[in-house]
Amino acid sequence: MTMLAVFRSRAQTLDCVSRLRAEGVPAQAVSTPKEAGVGCGISVKFEENFLPRVLSLLNGRTYSSFSGIMKKVGGAYVFR
């Protein structure tokens, strides 16, 4: 299942993508869905099986603009 780590900062989003890729997590920057209600416009897309590694990175870094994790349910994204 596709998941998104939603940020309010483009710089922090791109930093997260870079760090995840360095850890072997296939992540990419994508447009943030309107359901997120966040202004930055990009999020980190990854697959659910990598969620523990993503959460570990997020918990180990200070990302002040991190808004939460969304998952795709049907055709829409919802905060988990």
Mean predicted confidence (pLDDT) in 36-58:
92
What fold is seen in the domain 2-79?
Answer: Alpha-Beta Plaits (3.30.70)
Sequence-distant (6+) residues with CB within 8 A of 36 are 4, 6, 43, 67, 70, 77, 79
CA dist list (Å): 11 to 20, 27, 29: 14, 15, 11
Domain positions in the chain: 2-79
Tell me what pLDDT residue 40 has. 65
Give the model's confidence band at 41: pLDDT under 50 very low, under 70 low, under 90 confident, else very high.
confident
The residues with which 46 forms a beta bridge, in sequence order, are 3
pTM score, whole prediction: 0.93
